[in-house]
Structure 1
Amino acid sequence: MSQPGREEVIEPWQDSAAYRPPVPRDGPAIATARPPRKRARWITAGIALTLAAAAGAAYVVTGPHSFASLGAQQEAYRHHWPTPHRGGTERLAPAVTAAPDNGYTATRTEGGVPVGYDPCDAIHYVIREENAPAGGDKMIEDAVAKTARATGLVFIYDGTTEEPPSADREKYQPGRYGDRWAPVLISWTTPDEMPSFIGDAAGFGGSSPVQSGQAPWVYVTGQVQMDGPAAGKLIDQGSSAEVEAILLHEMGHVVGLGHAEDKNNLMYRSTDGTVADFGPGDLAGLAKLGNGPCVPEY
């Protein structure tokens, strides 16, 4: 079992997992409607990443999406940051206490401390509704609310957007969102739009960190990408709970959780579909991630 704060990846936009829905009890797997899965390789920032499904796994591990060297990105784009708003020094919501449990990992750590969002600043998010299945907005609302309760972080819905998902999304988009970090983008997409969704992959999630001077590293924005057609098929088959689990798993990645090594946790890297909510290790990790330092420098 992993230790708290163990680093899983250290990339600027990390997703770590895609969800493969379990085989429906009364029908074939969704994958049968798509071409046979092939090994896929991405060359990003000089790193070759391989996607291969593990036999019987329900989460397909893709490894980090390394879209730019973190150091190079920091230096090249430091001037392209929003004007520091000098945020608050007090939490917006009470800290969450969870029972101790070592069954979680953090996506990124610095000096042994998990990187998370600033609890003294709200996390804004927007939804790209194109390709959304029936009830998709309510599912997102519920997943965000559960994540907020488990972390003690405050989320604010800024409405819908036409911004498409992107592997190299800019953290600062003043023309679209004004002089602030871009809100977390939650989008329903398709395999045609996002080639990462091959085979049975149905969801990705992660966040982008920044660091200035001696201030702590902190996440400032992120993404959740959901395969809308695959989600719609699951819902039509009466498996809405599976879509909700996918969303919740990806929201865990957004706030900084990596994969757990305990099968009783939703963040475990493979599942048979029986775990639909955050488990003990997940809750311990989420409480830890939500109890980070205030970072008014950003």
Structure 2
Amino acid sequence: MTFPDDLPRSPTGRVPAWVQQEAQGMAPAPTEWRTPPSAAYPPAPWSPTPYVSPRKRRRTRAMVTGVVTLLVVLALGMQEMLPWQTSSDLTNSAWRADGVWRGDTAPDDRTRTPTPGYGEARERLLPAPVVVAPDDSYAILTIADPYAGEAVQHPLTWSPCRAIEYVVNTEGAPEDFTERIADAVAEVSAATGLAFVYAGPTTEVPTVERARYQPERYGDRWAPVLIAFADETEIPRLADNVVGLGGADASYDPTSELFRAVTGIVYLDITLTDELLLWGEPAYVSVLRHELGHLVGLDHVDDDEQLMASGGPVREFQAGDLTGLAELGNAECAPGV
């Protein structure tokens, strides 16, 4: 079908599915990733932020051996090795004025939530970080109020009084994937003062419709953050040049009267296991750091000297990134979720 030129499009020129549906007069379906904690408080919009590479190669999960092939390439600069850029079509996802979510799939249960306060302590678990070199080159992800609309924005923050649990699906991943994750998570923990706990491996497969509450698998608590490699057959948003998705799912906390992050995902495209080592670490690690930044609440910034820029050669957190991470770690406790 041919669509008018004035419709929103991704950087690759594609018209997003929700735009196609609206253009055809079809009501978009809600998604279970935004399961409301109650009828009174609908869930916060959840928009995993994509990472894009024009060098991506298509490959199916079945072909992955889990071994990174080391190639020697001379005279390649960092810009060529890390030409990641980000599309904006997902970050614009939001509740519409009519209360209909522009999502991908319909939920199977919009009422299931865990008992509030799992793992919540009375005080923060780790000391608040100290910023050595403050820099204002950062941006904080915000959540539009589902009732007030875009005019009222809530910052996306995690409770510093409970650990952020995460699980890892190692299918198709390099042998040291879990260790690489632990190192990157430790960097984010030190920068935010948020505690992270590795809850172990999981067989849960990456999915767009991931439920944030899975008592049959994880018990009476919010599902841990899922970190995994995936391909475009599992996650359609990893098609074309997108090589990573990351973000948090939030729930309304009546104690702070804010939406607080309760779980999330970090998905890395399986083709990243083919990329070169960069200064002693696999190429996917810089993407992992970037997506972990989104997970804890950092947005993109228009500064190519920061890791959270939508493109550029940076592979580690810089002064602006670290300032933003420290701010995100100074939230209130959230015993109500």
Q: Deviations over 1:175-201 (max 9, x none)?
A: 110000000000111222222212232
Q: Which entry has the higher C-alpha Rg, 1 or 2?
A: 2
Q: Which amino acid aligns with 1:181?
A: W
Map of 1:60 onto structure 2: 86
Match for residue 128 of structure 1 among 169, 176, 192 = 169
Question: Shift of the alpha carbon at 1:258?
Answer: 0.5
Q: Which runs of 5+ in 1 are unaligned?
A: 1-9, 22-28, 35-55
Q: Residues of 2 paired with 1:13 and 1:244: CA distance?
A: 23
Map of 1:281 onto structure 2: 320
Map of 2:117 onto structure 1: 85
1:294 counterpart = 2:333 = yes
Gap change, CA 1:194 and 1:115, over 3 Å in 2: closer
Gap change, CA 1:237 and 1:116, over 3 Å in 2: closer
> What number of residue pairs does the alignment pair up?
256
Q: Residues of 2 paired with 1:65 and 1:103: CA distance?
A: 19
Structure-to-structure mapping, 1:181-196, within 5 angstroms: 181-196=222-237
Q: Deviations over 1:112-150 (max 9, x none)?
A: 663211000110000011111342222211111111111
TM-score, normalised to structure 2, is 0.68
What secondary structure sits across from 2:246 in the alignment?
A: strand
Question: Shift of the alpha carbon at 1:60?
Answer: 3.0
**Could you tell me whether the CA contact under 8 Å between 2:56 and 2:240 is conserved in 1?**
no
What secondary structure sits across from 1:104 in the alignment?
A: coil
Q: Residues of 2 paired with 1:66 and 1:159: CA distance?
A: 33
Runs of 4+ in 1 over 4 A off after TM superposition: 65-73, 109-113, 235-239
Map of 1:140 onto structure 2: 181
Map of 1:17 onto structure 2: 50
Q: What is the percentage of aligned positions where both structures have the same residue?
A: 37
Map of 2:128 onto structure 1: 95
What secondary structure sits across from 2:326 in the alignment?
A: helix
Q: Which amino acid aligns with 1:92?
A: L
Question: Shift of the alpha carbon at 1:294?
Answer: 0.6
**Could you tell me whether the CA contact under 8 Å between 1:207 and 1:223 is conserved in 2?**
yes
Q: Residues of 2 paired with 1:261 and 1:67: CA distance?
A: 20
Q: Deviations over 1:246-275 (max 9, x none)?
A: 00000000001000111110000011x3x1
Question: Shift of the alpha carbon at 1:62?
Answer: 4.2
**Could you tell me whether the CA contact under 8 Å between 2:53 and 2:243 is conserved in 1?**
yes
What secondary structure sits across from 2:188 in the alignment?
A: helix
Q: Residues of 2 paired with 1:126 and 1:279: CA distance?
A: 27
What secondary structure sits across from 2:289 in the alignment?
A: helix
**Could you tell me whether the CA contact under 8 Å between 1:89 and 1:295 is conserved in 2?**
no
Question: Shift of the alpha carbon at 1:12?
Answer: 2.5
Gap change, CA 1:17 and 1:239, over 3 Å in 2: farther
Map of 1:42 onto structure 2: none
What secondary structure sits across from 1:247 in the alignment?
A: helix
Q: Over the residues paired in the alignment, what is the CA RMSD in angstroms?
A: 2.9
Q: Which stretch has the larger CA shift, 212-221 or 87-96?
A: 212-221
Structure-to-structure mapping, 1:1-298, within 5 angstroms: 12-20=45-53, 29-31=55-57, 58-64=84-90, 69=95, 79-85=111-117, 87-98=120-131, 99-108=133-142, 114-213=155-254, 215-228=257-270, 230-235=271-276, 240-271=281-312, 273=313, 275-298=314-337
Q: Which runs of 5+ in 2 are unaligned?
A: 1-42, 60-81, 102-107, 145-151
TM-score, normalised to structure 1, is 0.76
Q: Which amino acid aligns with 2:234?
A: E
What secondary structure sits across from 1:181 in the alignment?
A: coil
What secondary structure sits across from 2:334 in the alignment?
A: coil
**Could you tell me whether the CA contact under 8 Å between 2:268 and 2:284 is conserved in 1?**
no
What secondary structure sits across from 2:197 in the alignment?
A: strand
What secondary structure sits across from 1:59 in the alignment?
A: coil
